[in-house]
């Protein structure tokens, strides 16, 4: 809320003097350092408004080095966008480990309590292009580059802990299927089309991931309010050479929250940069986003004790079986200085590890170890992308790699090979005892085959566990998402195949989705024509369910585990008209700010607006430049002229949408009439029991009123407002 303070405005200084004629020598002018216009090679430019010509109206000359350099650079400013994760935003920050983790790993950045490591973190959507919306239903990338003293460690993950496929050989097929269809390049940034669901319906291993992507996890409220996961099972190796398996988690301190699907679609129209803007503005305001790093540690001896395979990237380790140990905090505290140079050119790689962190035999991870380098070579122009400033390690680089496109390092001396004697043997190999990286000597044996282990063949148990772990409204959202997505599929056979898979997860789920699609649930699932099921075709005989059984649930899988929670950085729209209740609005703002939230004024028009006490304010939004989908709650202030809102159709829609999207809706005095106009309730001031606990009304702002508003925002949404789906009797 911006309050205007009166101030005298000084007139601008008058300019005097006429410009000298061009054929006269100009008076010497001192130009501050760093402000001179130059070529790429540092030569000062005298005229950047006109190209060099043979006469004022003559042809341009080829010798105009400035024109050629400027146009050539412009022609090559665009680099190929990422095949996936093209649309992203990022920030700088720091990671601080709480206690030494030397009992688990020899990684230096985890070895001493309080040690801080600079990081660069990039968030992204997966399927869409750079120009798509932030609010597409999609997986979100969560990639962290640690600039450690031993080199860069890249933890390249997502906001979903599992993946669609078990083997990297299927990754090109997955991406081809989810991208816009090649014959017409539609749809953009969406999975609701035939090729994607054709592929998925033939890949039963995707069913667990599909439950996550169709859930609210695919529609985060903010990058700052979503979890991150390393997806794969890694190894931690300590100084004694002992190895343990590990899964990495990022836990947001603001909790895990989502928006509604209808809300996401409207945000895409109102502000397609919603997540990008949210991250940028929070950091600029000093409300630094924070996550805790969590580890799930599994001893080598326990590798096979679960009812699933640790190497299977379509499976999680339920936190009830292996608790997440929170070991450090990530804080993002600085926005990039240049989006292209940093956010666009940053190159992450699963293979960027440091001593003490190693890989497992996860077949999806193994393929990623090849793919990342290969794509950076094309996207960033050659083998020297690691020399781009955002990718350079803080640890010194010494090796015999030379030359190549865009080489920036100037290597001296005659030696560029190893072993050598002319260079004194440098650069020298680093012994393990001195910190050299040594791959963990995991035992392996077996014939060379194209196959997968039998423990990879249970494709439905964890999909069911995820679905059954959701709150009732979260299950309803999954069902509606499947109805929407499969309702866009034109081929009936594909819809039927998918419903057949859903029946293997939960009968009610399949029946409700089938009802929305106008089809029957198949009596048996269609076996896929690939090698993702056992050769004998009997998947049930190979399913391991001693722990992940049909009735298993895991509480942390539901986002309701995050409520109630902090309301820091939440935005509340405060709707005001002329002569509004200044004292009441000030009390609401103070109550919100005490919890780290914001109260932002929305008025009928922009410009100064006076409260009933004579104070003058400058509203942040007009009713036409705002929408309730951009806020977490709405409060309609009292005032003699508050009834003017009733004639504003946009104002009625504003509060109606907020209520529809299950947000806290509050009003005092005559502001309550706007809620009634939106059919949220009638006679609420006279009714001691309003419609629900997230609809807060009062004759005036009191301490009890603001406490109820804060509590409603802390609960994120009142999802019980939504109508339930039911099967016909």
What does the H/E/C string look like for 294-344? EEEEEEHHHCCCCCCCCCCCCCCCCCCCCCCEEEEEEEEEECCCCHHHHHH
User: What CATH number does the domain located at 563-720 have?
Assistant: 3.40.50.880
Parts of the chain belonging to CATH 2.40.180.10: 88-391
Beta bridge partners of 330: 95, 291
Parts of the chain belonging to CATH 3.40.50.880: 563-720
pLDDT given at position 729: 54
Q: How much of the chain, in percent, has pLDDT values that exceed 90?
A: 73
Kindly list the distances between the CA atom of residue 623 and the CA atoms of 215, 221, 272, 602, in Å, as whole numbers in the listed order: 31, 22, 19, 6
pLDDT at 472 over 90: yes
Kindly report, residue by residue over 233-253, the tens digit of the pLDDT: 999 999 999 999 999 999 999
C-alpha–C-alpha distance, residues 405 and 382, integer Å: 5
SS (H, E, C) 552-576: CCCHHHCHHHHCCCCCCCCEEEEEC
Q: From the candidates 66, 85, 249, 473, give the one annotated as an active-site residue.
A: 85
595 DSSP 8-state letter: T
C-alpha–C-alpha distance, residues 726 and 486, integer Å: 19
pLDDT given at position 44: 87
Contact 482, 455 (CB under 8 A): no
pTM of the prediction? Answer: 0.91
C-alpha–C-alpha distance, residues 42 and 49, integer Å: 18
pLDDT at 624 over 90: yes
Confidence label for 40 from pLDDT (cuts 50, 70 and 90):
confident
Confidence label for 70 from pLDDT (cuts 50, 70 and 90):
confident
Confidence label for 545 from pLDDT (cuts 50, 70 and 90):
very low
pLDDT at 468 over 80: yes
Greater confidence, 509 or 425? 509
Beta bridge partners of 144: 121, 155
Distance of CA 131 to the CA centre of its chain: 16
How many CB atoms neighbour CB 52 within 10 A?
A: 14
C-alpha–C-alpha distance, residues 580 and 641, integer Å: 7
Confidence label for 11 from pLDDT (cuts 50, 70 and 90):
very low
Backbone angles phi, psi at 463, to 5 degrees: -60, -45
pLDDT given at position 691: 75
pLDDT at 77 over 50: yes
pLDDT at 497 over 50: yes
38 DSSP 8-state letter: B
Beta bridge partners of 142: 123, 157
In CATH, the architecture of 88-391 is Beta Barrel (2.40)
pLDDT at 540 over 80: no
For range 193-220, the mean pLDDT: 97
C-alpha–C-alpha distance, residues 333 and 566, integer Å: 19
Query: Is residue 386 among the annotated active site residues?
Result: no
Q: From the candidates 158, 335, 352, 384, give the one annotated as an active-site residue.
A: 158
C-alpha–C-alpha distance, residues 666 and 575, integer Å: 10
Backbone angles phi, psi at 554, to 5 degrees: -135, 115
Kindly report, residue by residue over 83-108, the tens digit of the pLDDT: 999 999 999 999 999 999 999 999 99
Query: Is residue 85 among the annotated active site residues?
Result: yes
| Torsional class of 661: left (φ above 0), alpha (ψ -120 to 50), beta (otherwise) | alpha
């Amino acid at each position: 809320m911006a309050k205007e303070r009166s101030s005298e405005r000084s007139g601008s200084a008058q300019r005097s003097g006429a410009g000298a004629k061009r054929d006269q020598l100009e008076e010497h002018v001192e130009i501050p350092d760093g402000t001179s216009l130059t070529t790429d090679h540092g030569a000062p430019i005298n005229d950047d408004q006109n190209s060099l010509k043979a006469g004022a109206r003559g042809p341009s000359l080829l010798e105009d080095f400035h024109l050629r350099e400027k146009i050539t650079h412009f022609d090559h400013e665009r680099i190929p966008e990422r095949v996936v994760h093209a649309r992203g935003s990022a920030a700088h920050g720091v990671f601080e480990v709480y206690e030494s983790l030397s009992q688990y790993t020899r990684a230096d950045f985890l070895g001493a309590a309080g040690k801080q490591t600079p990081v660069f973190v990039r968030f992204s959507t997966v399927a869409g292009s750079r120009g798509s919306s932030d609010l597409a239903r999609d997986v979100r990338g969560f990639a962290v580059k640690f600039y450690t003293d031993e080199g860069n460690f890249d933890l390249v993950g997502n906001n979903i802990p599992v993946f669609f496929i078990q083997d990297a050989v299927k990754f090109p097929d997955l991406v081809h299927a989810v991208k816009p269809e090649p014959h017409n390049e539609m749809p953009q940034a969406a999975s609701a089309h035939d090729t994607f669901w054709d592929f998925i319906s033939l890949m039963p291993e995707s069913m667990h991931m599909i439950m996550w992507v169709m859930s609210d996890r695919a529609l985060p409220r903010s990058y700052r309010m979503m979890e991150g996961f390393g997806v794969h099972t890694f190894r931690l190796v300590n100084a004694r050479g002992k190895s343990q398996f590990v899964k990495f988690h990022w836990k947001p301190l603001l909790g895990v929250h989502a928006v509604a699907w209808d809300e996401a679609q409207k945000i895409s129209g109102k502000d397609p940069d919603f997540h990008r803007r949210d991250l940028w503005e929070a950091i600029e305001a000093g409300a630094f986003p924070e996550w805790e790093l969590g580890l799930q540690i599994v001893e080598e001896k326990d590798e096979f004790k679960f009812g699933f395979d640790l190497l299977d990237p379509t499976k999680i380790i339920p936190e009830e079986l292996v608790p997440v140990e929170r070991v450090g905090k990530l804080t993002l505290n600085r926005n990039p200085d240049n989006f292209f140079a940093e956010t666009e050119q940053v190159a992450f790689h699963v293979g960027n590890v440091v001593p003490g962190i190693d890989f497992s035999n996860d077949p999806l991870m193994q393929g990623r170890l090849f793919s990342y380098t290969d794509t950076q070579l094309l996207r960033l122009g050659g083998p020297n992308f690691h020399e781009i400033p955002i990718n350079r390690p803080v640890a010194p680089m010494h090796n015999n790699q030379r030359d190549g496109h865009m080489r920036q390092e100037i290597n001296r001396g005659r030696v560029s090979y190893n072993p050598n004697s002319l260079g004194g043997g440098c650069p020298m190999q680093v012994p393990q005892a001195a910190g050299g990286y040594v791959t963990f000597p995991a035992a392996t044996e077996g014939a060379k085959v194209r196959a997968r282990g039998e423990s990879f063949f249970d494709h439905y148990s964890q999909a069911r566990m995820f679905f059954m772990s959701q709150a009732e409204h979260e299950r309803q959202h999954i069902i509606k998402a499947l109805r929407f997505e499969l309702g866009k599929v034109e081929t009936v056979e594909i819809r039927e195949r998918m419903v057949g898979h859903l029946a293997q997860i939960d009968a009610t789920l399949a029946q409700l989705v089938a009802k929305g699609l106008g089809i029957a649930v198949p009596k048996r699932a269609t076996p896929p024509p690939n090698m993702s099921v056992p050769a004998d075709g009997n998947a049930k005989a190979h399913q391991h369910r001693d722990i992940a059984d049909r009735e298993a649930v895991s509480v942390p899988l539901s986002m309701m585990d995050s409520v109630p929670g902090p309301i820091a950085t939440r935005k509340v729209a405060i709707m005001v008209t002329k002569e509004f209740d200044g004292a009441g609005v000030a009390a609401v703002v103070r109550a919100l700010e005490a919890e780290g939230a914001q109260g932002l004024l929305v008025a009928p028009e922009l410009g100064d607006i006076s409260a009933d006490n004579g104070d003058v304010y400058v509203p942040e939004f007009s009713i036409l430049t705002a929408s309730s989908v951009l806020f977490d709650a709405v409060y309609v202030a009292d005032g003699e002229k508050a009834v003017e809102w009733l004639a504003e159709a946009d104002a009625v829609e504003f509060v109606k949408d907020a209520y529809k999207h299950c947000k806290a809706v509050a009003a005092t005095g005559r502001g309550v009439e706007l809620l009634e106009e939106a059919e949220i309730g009638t006679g609420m001031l006279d009714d001691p029991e309003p419609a629900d606990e997230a609809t807060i009304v009062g004759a005036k702002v009191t301490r009890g009123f603001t406490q109820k508003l804060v509590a409603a925002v802390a609960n994120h949404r009142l999802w019980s407002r939504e109508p339930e789906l039911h099967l016909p009797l």
